[in-house]
Structure 1
């Protein structure tokens, strides 16, 4: 099978979706050779139409991806390089409107070189229409998933692509605001690839062509709400599970503890157990908790923190929880970087817009506090997570699974719905640092740990956590 990067729009649609039904807005009347009177523009459009069989650079309509209906937009790169003109803007605006009116996810298959020069500023202002459509879709609580084909550059990348909730890309796709002909001569070409954008935190995943259809089906199911079902689960249908009040989703269930040992007898023993290399980490909890996981990567500001895993997972089993989508943000035991906090805030806000419950796993000695972290805005990034958790209208469930180091850990903790495992501790500050601040000698660190009352049972007694799992 050919890679769906430079293939015709309808071929790409057939590769990833079923039952496509095209929609078209009313065709606008334009002046000869377009709004600028660009000599030869009508001729170029006619040649493009003859070559591709399309009348514009975008095709859109309804389709089924996996088991669920969607609105799908596909760029026809063979039509003037997939460029955006006024009629393209009409179609993109109509696609956003169709998704809102039918309450459907929007999937964009992007392959564009940018705005159409033959229409000048009229073409460029179509980006404002796309941005407005994106805002209205978000306000309606509907998801937008973009697939970046080759190329995805210029305003098409900076609005329809980069503005999506979930951004996937094909291997080796050219992705960047600057197209290949306008970059500085000394620019690093790797920065303009799908892989480079993934490493910089600007897209969520690079997906091989042969896996694109199944991956899109899973994403659409997960993004479609708490009742979405994953293809291949042997499950069909689904319904929103109501919470204790109102019609929102029920909280994500608290994960089972993976440690059979009793809580530590002393504060310092709790610290040592939480720091043990052999205790269960986030990966083990996520593997046990979810049947499938779809990662969300990067802070969209140029950073990725591998020590904080984020994404949407789907619950296993056969009961009412089976197939439920849950957004997760899980610390992996390292000092969390600013990029990690910004990524966590991004996915929690996404969950809030889509009405999905959130699970956070807390495990960090604290926020990274080196000079690089400070320059990257550690304080502001932590504040983003505190605000995202505090402002979430969907329920957030938190489980302390290891170290709970100060505000860098508390930022991910749900007020009133945080639990702890037996091999964990939570402290206002690390015992060693507390002893140093109090000017105590090294042999007083263990005593200081006891005074901090940081053991799981202490945390329950203080009302900091609801219970020990």
Structure 2
């Protein structure tokens, strides 16, 4: 079960101040013994309900904190729980505060019947109003996080942090099928893209402080790249070979050089993770930029959906976006088709087109077809000297047009895919 909600809150924010609540407990369906169970929970925990809500400063950032007390009837959600959470979100909107939800719950409170279950709609509504105000939400999955608590506050965070060893799943331990329980763990939720990172209890304060800083200090823009004065490869095929060179810098090297610090978000929230796409938020000169970066591999549907999720979140929070383009193309095997690769690519095109914040793109390696173009911002794309951008790979062009494989180098020349060719064609702004 871990530490109590109150000790967790005071450990995260020494200045924690609870919100006032003068509501009375309810017994909507007259469940036998429910009032007595509630009184025992009060005596055991010293709390009057299964959730504590209030304000506090975490690592220098003021936030609204919502913490579940699992010792109070299993952290279950009843009518008064929902009222407290709704009031916390609405107060966060009034004060322009991010919300940190520290979830530990067995789900809806059986003793209140449908009144309890309907609180999930109430919580979802309050969360939506807060999100519409352009404010950030962080969720911490404690042990256990199940049922409606996982389906609303837990999974609904902009960033979802899971504690090592926590039980996390929609189905609680008493109602799930017998057999393999490995899917109902924090680690499994990170692995399948439903949570962003796994942390220890000891690291939680510093992780939350870092995330709150990143999500509340947007930069005004991504500084545009500078000029280039290097030598040009003599042919299109030379550009392709330079982009494919194994010793060429990849996305992580660019991020390490450009950002002072950063954290990654992971997963498309549809059961998929693409390790060849790095998405997250980082600081440069004290302000936050978001990034979505390809790492030189064929991008899967999960990668496109994760990037679209990142762009949408950054846009809502007013954080400018940097994309790094580097892929031979979108994944094109049968698994990619079954995963919805086409709609996923379209989702990212739409997210960048709809973004109100500046999106700046840099082609750092291979720019293969629509799988690369989906990561590129129209009118704000630059290229490195060791990159190329093409309608598709020279090999694919030769195959499509039924040319001899020996013609591939000359095909690369005819495609005008070199960085300065792409600039002359008006697709890129310059070379850096």
Please give the TM-score of this superposition, normalised by the length of structure 2.
Answer: 0.98
2:29 maps to 1:36 = yes
Matched, 1:371 2:334: yes
Query: For residue 171 of structure 1, what is the aligned residue in structure 2?
Result: 164
Q: Which residue of 2 aligns with 1:310?
A: 279
1:263 touches 1:423 (CA, 8 Å); kept in 2? no
Decide which of 206, 212, 217 is 2:204's aligned counterpart: 212
**How far does the alpha carbon of each residue in 1:17-65 deviate from its partner, in whole angstroms, 9 at most, with x for none?**
22000103330463xxx11101100000000000100000000011000
Mapped to 2, the partners of 1:150 and 1:77 lie a distance apart of: 9
Is contact 2:225-2:382 (8 Å) kept?
no
Contact 1:142 1:354 in 2 (8 A): yes
Of 122, 146, 157, which aligns to 1:153? Answer: 146
How many Å apart are 1:195 and its aligned residue? 0.3
Local SS of the residue matching 2:360 = strand
Q: What is the CA–CA distance in structure 1 between the aligned matches of 2:175 and 2:72, rounded to whole Å?
A: 21
Task: State the secondary structure of the residue aligned to 1:393.
Answer: coil
1:202-281 matches, within 5 Å, as 202-226=194-218, 249-250=220-221, 252-254=222-224, 262-281=231-250
1:7 positional shift = 1.1
Q: How far does residue 345 in structure 1 lie from its aligned partner after superposition?
A: 0.2
* Residue aligning to 1:50: 43
Looking at structure 1, the residues matched to 387 and 25 of structure 2 have their Cα atoms a distance apart, in angstroms, of 68
Residue aligned with 2:346, SS: helix
Question: CA separation in 1, counterparts of 2:267 and 2:98?
Answer: 22
What CA distance in whole angstroms lies between the structure 2 residues aligned with 1:161 and 1:307?
Answer: 26
- 2:5 is the counterpart of 1:9: yes
Whether 1:62 and 2:55 are equivalent positions in the alignment is yes
Who is 2:254 aligned against? Answer: 285
Cα pair 1:109 1:146 within 8 Å, conserved? yes
Give the Cα separation in 2 of the matches to 1:26 and 1:141.
30
CA contact (8 A) 2:367 2:389 kept: yes
Residues 1:122 and 2:115 aligned together: yes
2:181 pairs with 185, 189, 209, which one? 189
- State the Cα distance separating 1:208 from its structure 2 match: 1.1
Shift of 1:261: 5.4
SS at structure 2 position matched to 1:149: strand
Question: How far did 1:364 drift?
Answer: 0.1
Aligned residues: 432
Deviation string for 1:220-253 (max 9, x for gaps)?
1111131xxxxxxxxxxxxxx6xxxxxxx32x12
Tell me by how many angstroms 1:256 deviates. 6.7
Q: Which moved more, 1:115-124 or 1:206-215?
A: 206-215
CA distance in 1, matches of 2:134, 2:149: 22
Distance 1:354 1:97, change over 3 A: same
CA contact under 8 A between 1:202 and 1:302: conserved in structure 2? yes
1:304-341: CA deviation from partner (whole Å, max 9, x where unpaired): 000000000111xxxxxx11101100000000000000
Residue aligned with 1:209, SS: coil
Query: CA–CA distance in 1 between the matches of 2:230 and 2:399?
Result: 31
Please give the alpha-carbon distance, in whole angstroms, between the structure 1 residues aligned to 2:189 and 2:226.
36
SS at the partner of 2:203? Answer: helix
Secondary structure of the structure 1 residue equivalent to 2:202: helix
Instruction: Identify the residue that residue 361 of structure 2 maps to in structure 1.
Output: 398
Cα displacement string for residues 76-104 of structure 1 (whole angstroms, at most 9, x for unaligned residues): 00000000000000100001011100000
| Residue pair 1:170, 1:208 contacting (<8 A) in 2 also | yes
Q: Tell me, yes or no, if structure 1 residue 352 matches structure 2 residue 315.
A: yes
Measured in 2, the distance between the counterparts of 1:47 and 1:256 equals: 67
- Whether contact under 8 Å (1:337, 1:373) holds in the other structure is yes
Q: 1:431 matched to which residue of 2?
A: 394
- TM-score between both structures, scaled by the size of structure 1: 0.90
Contact 1:254–1:398 (Cα < 8 Å) also in 2: no
Distance, in Å, in 2 between the alignment partners of 1:255 and 1:283 is 17
Alignment of 1:21 with 2:14, yes or no, is no
| Separation (CA, whole Å) in 2 of partners of 1:25 and 1:94 | 9
User: For the Cα contact (< 8 Å) 2:193–2:273, is it kept in 1?
Assistant: yes
Counterpart pick for 1:199 among 191, 197, 208:
191
Asked if structure 2 preserves the Cα contact closer than 8 Å seen for 1:255 and 1:285, the reply is no
Q: Distance in 1 between matches of 2:83 and 2:24?
A: 9
- Give me the whole-angstrom Cα distance separating, in 1, the residues matched to 2:238 and 2:358: 33
> Where do 4+ consecutive residues of structure 1 move more than 6 Å?
none
* Structure 2 segments unaligned to the other structure (5+ residues): none
| Alpha-carbon shift at residue 214 of structure 1 (Å) | 0.7
1:263 Cα deviation from its structure 2 partner = 2.9
